[in-house]
Amino acid sequence: MDQVQGLNLSLEELKKLFQETPSGGNGLFFNDMEGVRAILTPADKKADFIIYEDKTLVFVKSQLGYPAIYELRDSGFEAPAEAVLMDLDGTSIRSENFWVWIIECTTQRLLDNPSFNFEDEDLSHVSGHSVSEHLEYCIQKYCPDKTLEEARRIYFEITHYEMKEIIEGRGKQDAFVPSPGLKDFLLTLKSKGVKIGLVTSGLYEKAWPELISAFRTLDMGDPLEFYDSIITAGHSLRKGQAGTLGELAPKPHPWLYAETARIGLEMPADKLSRVVGIEDSSAGVLSIRLAGFTALGVSGGNIEQSGMKPLLSGFHDSLEDTLPFILG
């Protein structure tokens, strides 16, 4: 049977993996109208896949009111890779639980309830996306009388305090732990001449301390000297300081990965088949694919429960397990 563009499976196979809906894209698309063959959504319902005979469009939803539509292209990979793009939280460093805890603490403050805890179903909505997306989800579900601005103020107060405590040795234990095999994986890529880009939806002020912490643990020196490119979601925008665009254009949008490869690593358009991205989150996987690259998944994140495995070219238990695919 004919494969659906960008998903490498037949429509019949995809209907068994995704949920089929009569409409999608906030009412912009309807099944069996204007060439639409099917509208599919994964388990986490963060995006709609609009299937045509000759193309697949992805409608990326937004908690903040700024959805977007992208074409999902096929991603043929040719080993060996010339560039590897890596996620930070969960993929390179095991810090996701810490940042979910910060969101949980923020919600406790908003509710004035220190015993509040997330439910299991919340976890895919408070990791992998931007801070504002996470907070907006919590507001809508648990405290609709609060504002995003209030939640962001509390979040950054807690974050600054906890980061300072960690730097001074009094903070949450094991907040930032390098993923198993990270050092050997990175050094293997370096020895083969593969460019390495680090990509995170995290704001610089939260991403940089955890990266420094991990490299100190691994005795690997300055991350700026090691990585060929590092792209974060920029700096937070708060009163009294300038910020950079990041909260509205993070993963699952393609721009962070696209900028890392095309600008940071100077990979030309005709070399996209030599680029592979590695992620543990559904948002990151979609970001890689929308940027036009092949995606590999590693366990430990929310890829399986989100239903996004069909977008992967491989799913592995560890970083080192990805090397045969990457190096050929």
Count, residues in the chain: 328
Give how many domains the chain has, as a whole number: 3
Residues 218, 102, single domain; the answer is no
Q: Evaluate whether 47 touches 58 at the Cβ level (below 8 Å).
A: yes
Domain hosting residue 29, numbered range: 11-71
Q: Which of 134, 167, 200 is the last residue of a domain?
A: 167
- Domain contains 108: yes
pLDDT of residue 168: 78
- Domain contains 78: no
Helices (H), the chain: 11-17, 96-111, 131-142, 148-167, 182-191, 204-218, 223-226, 255-259, 282-290, 303-306, 323-327
Residues 122, 203, single domain; the answer is no
170 by DSSP, 3-state: which?
coil
Residues 198, 103, single domain; the answer is no
- What string of DSSP letters covers 265-286? S---GGGGGGEEEEESSHHHHH
pLDDT of residue 1: 54
pLDDT of residue 296: 98
For tokens 């896949």, the residue is 49
- Domain contains 6: no
Residues 87, 231, single domain; the answer is yes
Other beta carbons within 10 angstroms of residue 171's beta carbon come to 15
Nearest to 90 by CA among 278, 231, 253: 278
d(CA 36, CA 49): 10
d(CA 265, CA 195): 7
d(CA 134, CA 128): 9
If the chain, 328 residues long, is cut into consecutive pieces of 10 residues, what is the mean pLDDT of each piece? 88 96 97 96 95 97 92 94 96 90 97 96 84 94 96 93 82 85 98 97 85 91 96 83 79 95 95 96 96 96 92 97 98
- Domain contains 258: yes
Residues 33, 129, single domain; the answer is no
pLDDT of residue 291: 97
Where residue 249 sits, what CATH number does that domain have? Answer: 3.40.50.1000
Q: Evaluate whether 201 touches 250 at the Cβ level (below 8 Å).
A: yes
Residues 89, 230, single domain; the answer is yes
- Domain contains 173: no
- Domain contains 152: yes
Strands 38-41 and 47-51: antiparallel
Q: Which of 119, 140, 167 is the last residue of a domain?
A: 167
Read off the amino acid at residue 256: L
Q: Any long-range contacts for 211-216 (C-beta under 8 Å, 24+ apart)? A: 211/88, 211/93, 213/166, 213/175, 213/176, 214/92, 214/93, 214/176, 214/177, 214/178, 214/182
Question: Which residues lie closer than 8 Å to 57 by C-beta, 6 or more apart?
Answer: 29, 49, 50, 69, 70, 71, 72
Residues 300, 255, single domain; the answer is yes
CA distances, 1 to each of 4, 32, 217, 289, 328 (Å): 9, 19, 50, 23, 28
Residues 246, 310, single domain; the answer is yes
For tokens 């986490």, the residue is 44
d(CA 174, CA 166): 10
Residues 189, 302, single domain; the answer is yes
pLDDT of residue 195: 98
- Domain contains 186: yes
Residues 190, 312, single domain; the answer is yes
Residues 211, 281, single domain; the answer is yes
d(CA 128, CA 311): 16
282: tokens are 């559904």
- Supply the DSSP symbol for 261: I
- Domain contains 214: yes
Q: Sort 96 into a burial class: Cβ within 10 Å, 0-12 / 13-18 / 19+.
A: buried
Q: Which of 144, 167, 190 is the last residue of a domain?
A: 167
Residues 59, 88, single domain; the answer is no
Helices (H), 34-73: none
